[in-house]
A and B are shown apart, each in its own frame.
Chain A
Amino acid sequence: MKVHEYQAKQLLAQYGVPVPRGSVAKTAAEAKKIAADIGGKVVVKAQVHAGGRGKAGGIKVVSSPEEAEKAAGEMIGSMLVTHQTSAEGALVNAVLVEEAIDVERELYLGIVIDGVIGMPVVMASEAGGMDIEEVARTSPDKIFKTYIDPGVGVHAFRARGISFDLNLEQAQRRAATETITNLYKLFEAKDCSLAEINPLVITTDGRVLAADAKLNFDDNAAFRQKDIEELRDTAQEDPLEVEAKGKGIENYIKLDGNIGCLVNGAGLAMAVLDLLKLAGGNAANFLDIGTINDVERVIQAIEIINSDPDVKAIFINIFGGMARTDVIAQGIVEAHQRMEIKSPVVVRLAGTNVDEGDRILKESGLNLIRAYSFKEAAEKAVAAA
């Protein structure tokens, strides 16, 4: 899960990471008032869940409260298109108004979990303010990696080592060391999957500040991070994906083809996309219904696929293990009773309780396109779309 920059900065501030003075505005008038309170030059930053805002006109430096009001008025309510958004862009509902800072140096500081090593890793670089993936690709030697043992946290010597990696002067080393330690505390306490400060700025007056920040959170830990869940902004997400999530279907991703897919398991769902492509078709979505043995969830998954106007055929491919094919079959039957399903439905069931699942479908008398092998099923789905 992602949050806005202003929300990330509030969390950073709570954990003792210094951020520029500023506040979030939902209206142009609020932006004017915040700018007046700060005084002098301020930055108005569009709040969307995407990077690349600067080039897209989503970040403006202004010199008066009136100009802040005007910039905020233009941004709020508009769609901001960056290289990371869809073609329609992302809706701007709020702006962050902050003091403009005089930058001496721009650094990079980020924490992720390295799955291979099985530990969190702090990444630091003097090449801040740029696309860090580009830095990693072109000059990986410019990124310093420091692994953190979660049992003990960030040792002082490790944080200090990072501050030496970054060639910081003695006056800034202490502040940087605290920032690194505190960012890690936040990362661990809030179950982040990414905590990134880019750029971490050294100002001309010697302060160390998080000029931009990005926090992503582990969805698996949502049950124990209720306060983070409250920061969710569904306006930044695909409406069908939001609807799916509301119905307890976490693993739904809208794609640009016309075959609606209902599959169990992420690997098999990916293989279905691959196989449809090989058969000359294209999936309208990725949907992993998981191991849910609940007829209602099956019906809701079908409802989401059925409500997608792009869908011309529905492809249900279930290989039961934990998931039981009889439950899926029952869901297919009840979905047909509850709603009008506009597209042809191709069903392939295999695995746990498949005899019972086949019996339920056969006895329902529904006009389904049945398939028994994986390849045959995909070809029938492509033909039906």
Chain B
Amino acid sequence: MSILVDKDTRLLVQGITGGEGSFHTRRCVAYGTNVVAGVTPGKGGTDLDGIPVYNTVDRAVAEMKANASIIFVPAPFAADSILEAADAGIPLIVCITEGIPTMDMVMVSRHLKYMDVRLIGPNCPGLLSAGKCKVGIMSGDIFLEGNVGVVSRSGTLTYEAVNQLTEQRIGQSTCVGLGGDPIIGTVFIDVLEMFEKDPQTEAVVMIGEIGGVQEQRAAEFIKGHMTKPVVAFIAGASAPPGRRMGHAGAIITGSSGRAQDKIAALEAAGVTISTSPAEIGTTMKKVLAANN
């Protein structure tokens, strides 16, 4: 097993003919992902290394039976691309695009509430089931197939964590990058629940950061519903207060955006905290040893 993506994933790439889109399509294919189609409006009828390109997602789904989509479309048009994929009935949409206006994502998230669609991102590195399928931009060669699930709000810090696990010869089941924007389609709780149910996953690494309340919500979920051990790192403990968190944005959450509050909530839920970002791998090794 694994979660969300595997050998049965039939991937569509929206924005396949762009610079990033074509570069990462080729890397997904090289990892073993079954990329069945691409979409770039106006480039329908062409192909990328034999992958057919369509003008619309509708056509791509009708002809190639895509069941997942990855989006590399530029920010001004990305929200529309998410809605196009959802409208075409694609159940899993992964939006890599960075810089989408927040109000666009407000509209998207309201719309998706009424549809049976899972959105990952935006502004995320995507996801990867080790040895099976990559729907993202992570460097595939740092992964090792195994039993630890990884879920993170960060992009590159996720690679760092995976790299540390692999260096300790701890393999991964699936790694999911949730994205760093204020409004994202999938949050910690969603992925933790999937890892808890996934027979391949034995333990979970969770990487959070300052701002918002998603880590605290995850802590509540872990306390009530998780039997598998969780190791967490929260980035930004040394960040100067007030620089990045907007004035009234903090009102909704009170002071809960701080790293120490998130760490306290997770510790209270039985999560093992890695205090250093360089010790995520070794911390997991100790936790696994203690549980065996």
Residues of A at the B interface (CB closer than 8 Å) are 51, 110, 112-116, 118-121, 123, 132-133, 136-137, 140, 143, 145, 149-151, 188, 191, 193-194, 196, 214, 216, 218, 220-221, 223-224, 253, 255, 263-268, 270-278, 286, 290-291, 293, 318-323, 350-352, 354, 373-375, 378
A378 to B240, Cβ gap below 8 A?
no
A267 to B251, Cβ gap below 8 A?
no
Shortest beta-carbon distance from A294 to chain B in Å: 11
Residue of B nearest to A132 (CB): B251
Q: Beyond A118-B109, A274-B237, is A132–B139 a contact (Cβ under 8 Å)?
A: no
Shortest beta-carbon distance from B35 to chain A in Å: 17
Q: Beyond A150-B103, A267-B154, is A118–B98 a contact (Cβ under 8 Å)?
A: no
B156 to A319, Cβ gap below 8 A?
yes
Residue of B nearest to A110 (CB): B248
Task: Please measure, in the bound complex, the distance between the C-alpha atom of A293 and the C-alpha atom of B75, giving whole angstroms.
Answer: 17
- List 20 additional A-B contacts (Cβ < 8 Å) besides A112-B249, A150-B107, A271-B157: A123-B251, A133-B248, A151-B107, A194-B249, A220-B101, A267-B153, A267-B157, A268-B155, A268-B156, A268-B235, A270-B235, A291-B20, A291-B98, A318-B156, A319-B160, A321-B137, A321-B156, A321-B159, A322-B20, A351-B142
Q: Which residues of B contact A321 (CB under 8 A)?
A: 125, 136-139, 155-156, 159
Shortest beta-carbon distance from B135 to chain A in Å: 13
Q: Does B127 have its Cβ within 8 Å of any Cβ on chain A? A: no
Contact of A220 among B99, B154, B236 (CB under 8 A): B99
Residue of A nearest to B240 (CB): A255
Q: Which residues of B contact A322 (CB under 8 A)?
A: 20, 24, 96, 125, 137, 155
Q: Does B182 have its Cβ within 8 Å of any Cβ on chain A? A: yes
Q: Does B183 have its Cβ within 8 Å of any Cβ on chain A? A: yes
A188 to B236, Cβ gap below 8 A?
no
Q: Which residues of B contact A291 (CB under 8 A)?
A: 20, 98
Q: In chain B, residues 79-107, which have Cβ atoms closer than 8 Å to a Cβ of chain A?
A: 96, 98-103, 105-107
Question: Which A-B residue pairs are the 10 nearest by beta carbons?
Answer: A267-B154, A265-B156, A375-B278, A271-B277, A221-B101, A115-B182, A267-B157, A268-B156, A118-B109, A270-B235
B160 to A150, Cβ gap below 8 A?
no
Counting chain B CB atoms within 10 Å of each CB, the highest count among A223, A270, A275, A354 belongs to A270
Contact of B210 among A121, A270, A278 (CB under 8 A): A270
B248 to A112, Cβ gap below 8 A?
yes
B103 to A218, Cβ gap below 8 A?
yes
Q: In chain B, residues 240-280, which have Cβ atoms closer than 8 Å to a Cβ of chain A?
A: 240, 243-244, 246-252, 254-255, 275-279
A264 to B156, Cβ gap below 8 A?
yes
Shortest beta-carbon distance from A326 to chain B in Å: 12
Q: Beyond A118-B183, A374-B160, is A270–B236 a contact (Cβ under 8 Å)?
A: yes
Q: Which residues of A contact B279 (CB under 8 A)?
A: 375
Q: Beyond A133-B250, A271-B160, A322-B24, is A290–B102 a contact (Cβ under 8 Å)?
A: no
B209 to A278, Cβ gap below 8 A?
no
Q: Beyond A120-B106, A275-B277, is A216–B160 a contact (Cβ under 8 Å)?
A: no
Q: Which residues of A contact B148 (CB under 8 A)?
A: none
Task: Please measure, in the bound complex, the distance between the C-alpha atom of A98 and the C-alpha atom of B170, giving whole angstroms.
Answer: 66
A267 to B252, Cβ gap below 8 A?
no
Q: Beyond A278-B275, A351-B142, is A267–B155 a contact (Cβ under 8 Å)?
A: yes
Q: Beyond A221-B101, A352-B139, A374-B278, is A121–B159 a contact (Cβ under 8 Å)?
A: no
Task: Please measure, in the bound complex, the distance between the C-alpha atom of A284 and the C-alpha atom of B292, giving whole angstroms.
Answer: 43
A277 to B238, Cβ gap below 8 A?
yes
Residue of A nearest to B99 (CB): A220
Q: Which residues of A contact B244 (CB under 8 A)?
A: 253
A216 to B247, Cβ gap below 8 A?
yes
Residue of A nearest to B187 (CB): A116
Q: Which residues of A contact B102 (CB under 8 A)?
A: 113, 191, 193, 218, 220-221
Counting chain A CB atoms within 10 Å of each CB, the highest count among B102, B156, B275 belongs to B156
A319 to B159, Cβ gap below 8 A?
yes
Counting chain A CB atoms within 10 Å of each CB, the highest count among B136, B217, B236 belongs to B236
Residue of B nearest to A355 (CB): B141
Residue of B nearest to A214 (CB): B247
Contact of B251 among A133, A216, A274, A293 (CB under 8 A): A133
Contact of A116 among B105, B136, B213, B246 (CB under 8 A): B213
Task: Please measure, in the bound complex, the distance between the C-alpha atom of A375 and the C-alpha atom of B281, giving whole angstroms.
Answer: 12
Q: Does B110 have its Cβ within 8 Å of any Cβ on chain A? A: yes
Between-chain CB contacts (< 8 Å), 14 pairs? A113-B103, A119-B110, A121-B252, A150-B106, A150-B107, A224-B101, A266-B180, A274-B277, A286-B239, A293-B19, A320-B159, A322-B20, A322-B137, A350-B159
Counting chain B CB atoms within 10 Å of each CB, the highest count among A110, A121, A218, A318 belongs to A218
Contact of A143 among B103, B158, B212, B251 (CB under 8 A): B251
A351 to B139, Cβ gap below 8 A?
yes
A273 to B238, Cβ gap below 8 A?
yes
Task: Please measure, in the bound complex, the distance between the C-alpha atom of A351 and the C-alpha atom of B138, giving whole angstroms.
Answer: 8
Shortest beta-carbon distance from A334 to chain B in Å: 20
Q: Does B200 have its Cβ within 8 Å of any Cβ on chain A? A: no
Q: Which residues of B contact A255 (CB under 8 A)?
A: 240
Residue of A nearest to B106 (CB): A150
Q: Beyond A116-B214, A218-B101, A351-B159, is A273–B239 a contact (Cβ under 8 Å)?
A: yes
Q: Does B130 have its Cβ within 8 Å of any Cβ on chain A? A: no
Contact of A267 among B142, B209, B247 (CB under 8 A): B209
Task: Please measure, in the bound complex, the distance between the C-alpha atom of A140 and the C-alpha atom of B156, giving whole angstroms.
Answer: 37
Q: Does B3 have its Cβ within 8 Å of any Cβ on chain A? A: no
Task: Please measure, in the bound complex, the distance between the C-alpha atom of A151 and the C-alpha atom of B276, giving whole angstroms.
Answer: 44
